């Protein structure tokens, strides 16, 4: 039986990053430019590594290769051909991120031999005035899209949303989007790092060079019918669970934990991911092993574990396929 797995975190320094991820996790400062923490990643070069227990030091990919059905589940293993299909991150935007789009599976496979990137954001702790861009705010076509990029006016064509805690944004591949300054979100996405950067406010890197844009690649990746984006505010309370996203790539819910909750996983035939987003909780697997689940912690529950119990008071996100 593969136990509940906790992994070391990869912290990514970027020009738009800040210090809030460390504070959210209750850690000492990690620096002033940490924009992302990769919580669960199969990406080459940044694979998650088991942090403790009998498999300490093994990468996620190596473990999945050894125990594909035990970790992924037979259904998921068959569909994704033995590959872990998701990437989970926390993102802190101390400044605006670039305007970008991700290709769908078909285009990503053709160009990059990669998965595409459908994703979601769930807002954890936005600062006053925080905003996000998602979709267009008016009818768009490729020629107008290119012209507005060249004129540095593409931001004017995007749906702009003020953000509150508990806001959900679902971003299918092809949706033009950007995280604006002042946000702390958890991002759940297909396991892909293919991003077409469309506009970056003429910012320069640490050596004074403009960051690379991918305008030509983006033209046929964009969904020009994506008007106004998809924002919902979904919060759970008093022991509730509420579905956030149910799509072919992931199923995500937010759950309020009030003292104790039993979670039956036996019928999923899928791994589960549990992310602590508030309070101080503990997870007990069916064999009695207890794993702390503080705010900012991410755990992988292998498909072979039939149930877990979560105690304490707080909130979690749950993810499975």
- What's the confidence (pLDDT) of residue 209? 82
Q: Known catalytic residues?
A: 197
Instruction: Looking at the structure, tell me whether residues 220 and 292 fall in a common domain.
Output: no
CA distance 257 to 146: 48
Q: 201 with 213: CB under 8 angstroms? A: no
| Cα 319 off chain centre by | 10
Q: Is the same domain home to 60 and 159?
A: yes
Q: Residue 219: pLDDT band by 50, 70, 90 thresholds?
A: very high
Number of folded domains that form the chain: 2
The fraction of the chain above a pLDDT of 90, given in percent, is 90
Distance separating alpha carbons of residues 38 and 53, to the nearest angstrom: 20
Q: 272 and 221 in one domain?
A: no
Task: Report the candidate in 247, 125, 144 with the shortest Cα–Cα distance to residue 188.
Answer: 247
pLDDT at 223: 96
Is the domain of 220 the same as that of 281? no
* Residue that terminates a domain, selected from 233, 266, 286: 233
* Residue that finishes a domain, picked among 233, 262, 297: 233
Are both 137 and 251 inside the same structural domain? no
pLDDT for position 181: 96
CA–CA gap between residue 228 and residue 226 (Å, rounded): 7
Q: 287 pLDDT exceeds 90?
A: no
- What's the pLDDT at 230? 72
pLDDT at position 236 over 90: no
Please tell me whether residues 189 and 69 are part of one structural domain: yes
Q: How much is the pLDDT for 241? A: 93
Find the CATH number of the domain harbouring 293. 2.60.120.10
Per-residue model confidence (pLDDT) at position 239 = 83
Among candidate residues 191, 214, 233, the one where a domain is terminated: 233
Question: Global pTM?
Answer: 0.95
Whether residues 226 and 255 fall in one domain: no
Same domain (yes/no): 64, 181: yes
pLDDT at 299: 98
Domain match, 221 and 268 both: no
Asked whether residue 51 falls in the same domain as residue 154, the answer is yes
For residue 235, the model assigns a pLDDT of 87
What six digits make up the tokens of 32? 């002033």
> Two tokens at 309?
């119990």
Whether residue 173 sits in one domain with residue 259: no
Tokens of 25: 């996790």
Say yes or no: 193 and 250 in one domain: no
| pLDDT (0 to 100) of residue 256 | 95
* pLDDT tens, position by position, 159-173: 999 999 999 999 999
Domain region containing 35: 5-233
Place of tokens 């590594």: 49
């Amino acid at each position: 039986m593969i136990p509940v797995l906790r992994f070391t975190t990869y912290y990514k320094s970027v020009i738009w990053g800040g210090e809030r991820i460390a504070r959210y996790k209750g850690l000492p400062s990690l620096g002033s430019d940490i924009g992302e923490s990769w919580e669960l990643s199969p990406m080459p070069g940044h694979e998650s590594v088991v942090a403790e227990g009998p498999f300490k030091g093994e990468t996620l990919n190596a473990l999945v290769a050894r125990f594909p059905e035990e970790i992924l589940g037979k259904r998921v293993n068959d569909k994704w051909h033995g590959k872990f299909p998701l990437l989970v991150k926390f993102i802190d935007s101390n400044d605006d991120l670039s305007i970008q789009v991700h290709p769908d599976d078909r285009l990503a496979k053709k160009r990059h031999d990669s998965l595409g990137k459908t994703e979601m954001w769930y807002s954890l702790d936005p600062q006053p005035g925080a905003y996000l861009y998602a979709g267009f705010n008016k009818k768009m076509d490729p020629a107008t899209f290119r012209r507005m990029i060249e004129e540095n006016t593409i931001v004017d064509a995007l749906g702009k949303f003020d953000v509150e805690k508990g806001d959900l944004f679902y971003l299918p591949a092809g949706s033009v989007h950007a995280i604006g300054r002042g946000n702390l979100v958890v991002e759940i996405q297909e396991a892909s790092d293919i991003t077409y950067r469309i506009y970056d406010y003429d910012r320069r890197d640490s050596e004074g060079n403009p960051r690379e844009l991918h305008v030509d690649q983006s033209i046929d990746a964009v969904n020009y019918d994506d008007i106004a984006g998809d924002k919902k505010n979904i919060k759970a309370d008093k022991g509730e669970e509420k579905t956030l996203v149910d799509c072919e790539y992931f199923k995500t819910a937010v759950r309020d934990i009030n003292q104790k909750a039993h979670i039956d996983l036996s019928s999923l035939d899928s791994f589960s991911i549990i992310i602590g987003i508030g309070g101080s909780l503990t997870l007990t697997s069916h064999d009695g092993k207890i794993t702390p689940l503080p705010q900012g912690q991410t755990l992988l529950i292998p498909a072979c574990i039939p149930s877990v119990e979560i105690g304490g008071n707080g909130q979690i996100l749950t993810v499975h396929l």
